[in-house]
Amino acid sequence: MKLTLKIWRQSGPNDKGRMETYPIDGIEEDMSFLEMIDVLNLKLVREGKDPVAFDHDCREGICGSCSMFINGQAHGPGRGITTCQLHMRRFKDGDTIHIEPWRSAAFPVIKDLVVDRSAFDRIQAAGGFISVNTSGNLVDGNATPIPKDDADEAFDAATCIGCGACVATCTNGSAMLFVAAKVSQFALLPQGRPEAKHRVLNMVEQMDKEGFGNCSNTGACEIECPKEISLEHIARMNREYLAASVTKE
């Protein structure tokens, strides 16, 4: 496969950055998208040029690192996949592929396609946990009965890998799907209820502080989410937030 890559290059946070064009040859359709970038980088290194910086780790769709906006879509074409799960067979010989970093005020570019997603960590630290004393008084997980439907839904929310595709794809740069998933996974379980009010209020407050946009329910995040997390979680977070706002002391 012969391709033309148009890739965002930015040497550092203070560089203005620009799209640069790289012709590439010898790409096989069985390669993953990241392997294709590896081939490009090998070529760039051999030519004495700076390779394209990009985030990647597990390469099996569970770490959420491989943030790339490919041909106008988060993680490229295809549903329910991360960039590492995208294969070159989705493209045709001679195609031009645009590759950009996530664009969000809350995700500043570090270099090329690498963005700083620590805003998500700070939102998590604001309430995305339960406080359990783990020293010596562990309770068996099955000791607390949980309806199967609730457990399943909580698990669906918990599949969020914090990749940031929801923010990247949202026309408003909103992080609602991420925060909603983190709120929901606890809101549905009895273990999450004691801290539910503070959790939703604090996490939403932190989300707003980080400079993410507002949700206008376009539904784009749900479509582009590699874990296909549902908008219903956003509605649940809205309910939790409304209830917590009017009943807080």
Partner 1 sequence: MALTGLFLCVFLIAHLAGNLQLLDMSPEGRLKFNAYAKFMTTFPLVKAVSYLLYFSILFHAFDGLLLATQNRKARPVRYAYEKAGANSTWYSRRMALLGTLVLVFLIIHMRSFWYEMHWGAIGVDADGNKDLFAVVEAAFGKAWYVGLYVVMMGVLAFHLMHGFQSAFQSLGLNHPRYMPLVKNVGVFFAVVVPVLFALIPVWMFFFNA
Minimum CB distance to partner 1, residue 93 (Å):
20
Describe the crossing of helices 176-187 and 232-247 by its angle, rounded to 10 degrees.
70
Tell me which residue of 208, 211, 190, 187 sits closest to 198, measured CA to CA: 187
Identity of residue 122:
R
Cβ closest to partner 1, residue 123 vs residue 220:
220
Closest to partner 1 by CB, 51 or 108: 108
Residues forming the site for partner 1 (CB under 8 A): 6, 8, 17, 19, 69, 71-73, 77, 98, 100, 103-106, 169, 171-174, 211-220, 223-224, 231-232, 234-242
CA distances from 226 to 6, 58, 246 (A): 23, 14, 34
CB of 214 to partner 1, least distance (A): 5
| Helix or strand (DSSP H, E) at 195 | none
Kindly state the tokens that stand for 175. 């992080």
- Residue 225 contacts residue 165 (beta carbons within 8 Å): yes
Of the pair 59, 103, the CB lying nearest partner 1 is at 103
Count of CB atoms within 10 A of residue 200's CB? 28
The CB-of-66 to partner 1 minimum distance in angstroms stands at 17
Cα distance between residue 9 and residue 164, in whole Å: 20
CB of 48 to partner 1, least distance (A): 27
Comparing CB distances to partner 1, the nearer of 131 and 171 is 171
DSSP 45: H
CB 185 within 8 Å of CB 154: yes
Listing DSSP states for 115-153 in one string gives E--HHHHHHHHTTSS-----SS----GGGS---HHHHHH
Q: Which is nearer to partner 1, 125 or 242 (CB)?
A: 242
- Rounded to a whole number of angstroms, the minimum distance from the CB of residue 46 to partner 1 is 27
Closest to partner 1 by CB, 90 vs 103, is 103
Task: Select 55 or 100, whichever has its Cβ closest to partner 1.
Answer: 100
H-type helices in 67-218, by residue range? Answer: 118-125, 148-158, 165-169, 176-187, 196-209
Shortest Å, Cβ 145 to partner 1: 23
- Distance in Å, CB of 76 to partner 1, minimum: 10
